[in-house]
């Protein structure tokens, strides 16, 4: 069994060892550092399942099926149609996501490593906050048809590059708003009543 690990060095001098299930962090510059390495368990919402692909058909009808696209999209808090369409745009191939069955198809034979690299690009462009790098963002569409990412952690609002093909798809298929949330007028009214 092959275990993939990545080693990062942050700007503050901390060393981060990223494994499949844990992060190992050692920060020599921290005033509260300890001599032993500290294990930090990642929160559940930061964990993304490993991508599973299956090549179907042969000849001109060959397609790549991303078997667990619904689970990946749920971990990223984005619709699965966005990631599937991003793969199609970046690879120059037709792509299709069926909402009823949850099947994600991209025309052509593409290996998992290539699609995983493209998924990393999708995360950097449409999921991570441009300010703090946190993946807890929400896509919003402004009144003048621009896409913005609003970070739930730091509050940073960043504009998404509108030259990508996926942005026009997102504008035509806007993300669903969170259910149970109150609109601004109701929030202001409740605030005035409270005071």
Q: Give tens-digit pLDDT for 125-184.
A: 998 888 877 888 889 888 888 999 988 878 889 898 888 888 999 999 888 876 555 566
Least confident residue range of 23-27, 56-60, 154-158: 23-27
Q: Give this prediction's pTM.
A: 0.68
Query: pLDDT at position 37, please?
Result: 39
**Average predicted confidence (pLDDT) for the chain:** 77
Same domain, 85 and 144: yes
Q: Which residues contact 16 (CB under 8 A, 6 or more apart)?
A: 7, 8, 9, 10, 23, 24, 25
Same domain, 57 and 12: no
Same domain, 159 and 81: yes
Same domain, 68 and 157: yes
Same domain, 67 and 28: no
Residue with the two structure tokens 């462009």: 125
Alpha-helical regions (H) of 77-183: 80-91, 112-126, 165-172
Is the residue at 180 inside a domain?
A: no
Give the pair of three-digit tokens for residue 17.
Answer: 């060892």
151-185 in b/e burial notation, b at 16+ Cβ within 10 A?
beeeeeeeebeeebebbeebeeeeeeeeeeeeeee
Same domain, 99 and 31: no
Domain count, the chain: 2
Cβ atoms within 10 Å of 130's Cβ, excluding its own? 15
Same domain, 18 and 107: no
Q: Is the pLDDT of residue 85 over 90?
A: yes
Same domain, 120 and 94: yes
Q: Is 23 helix (H, G, I), strand (E, B) or coil?
A: strand
Same domain, 59 and 119: yes
Name the residue range of residue 35's domain. Answer: 6-42
- Mean pLDDT on 35-57: 64
* 8 A C-beta contact, residue 95 and residue 84: yes
Is the residue at 110 inside a domain?
A: yes
Q: Is the pLDDT of residue 64 over 80?
A: yes
């Amino acid at each position: 069994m092959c275990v993939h690990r990545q080693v990062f060095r942050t700007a503050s001098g901390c060393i981060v060892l990223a494994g499949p299930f844990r992060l190992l962090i050692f920060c020599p510059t921290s005033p509260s550092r300890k001599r032993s390495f500290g294990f930090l368990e990642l929160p559940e919402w930061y964990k993304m399942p490993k991508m599973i692909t299956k090549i179907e058909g042969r000849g001109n009808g060959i397609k790549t099926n991303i078997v667990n696209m619904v689970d990946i999209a749920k971990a990223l808090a984005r619709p699965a149609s966005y990631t599937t369409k991003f793969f199609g745009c970046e690879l120059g191939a037709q792509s299709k996501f069926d909402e009823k069955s949850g099947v994600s198809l991209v025309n052509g034979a593409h290996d998992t490593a290539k699609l995983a690299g493209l998924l990393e690009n999708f995360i950097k462009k449409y999921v991570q906050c441009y300010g703090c790098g946190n993946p807890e963002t929400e896509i919003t569409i402004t009144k003048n048809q621009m896409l913005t990412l609003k970070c739930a952690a730091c509050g940073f609002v960043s504009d998404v590059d509108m030259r990508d093909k996926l942005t026009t798809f997102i504008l035509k298929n806007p993300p669903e708003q969170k259910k149970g949330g109150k609109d601004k007028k109701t929030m202001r009214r409740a605030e005035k009543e409270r005071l």
